[in-house]
Amino acid sequence: MPRYHFHIIDGRTLLDPEGVELPDAAGARDEALRLVGEILRDPVQSVAFGSRWRLEATDSAGNLLLGLDLSLPVAAPAGG
């Protein structure tokens, strides 16, 4: 089964050297979306990555399969 890696870039690069075995690129896309959701639900991780960050999914050769750029407000808007 192929191995995919999920890296986070937020002014520094946090590489995923171990990766995850998944059946195909579609599975890697689903895993990337799951990871983003997990990070966004965790206030400690969300704050640690700042208001702008990127998750990149690569195959074992380092080819970029998916890049997700996130831009989050620093604080909740007034009134809501």
| Closest to 49 in 3D by CA, of 61, 33, 38 | 38
pLDDT at 78: 56
Mean pLDDT across 60-77: 83
Burial 56-80 (b: 16+ CB within 10 A, else e): bbbeeeeeeebebebeeeeeeeeee
**Where would I find the H helices in 1-80?**
25-41, 43-49
Is the entire prediction scored with pTM above 0.85?
Answer: no
Q: Where are the domains of the chain?
A: 3-70
pLDDT score at 4: 98
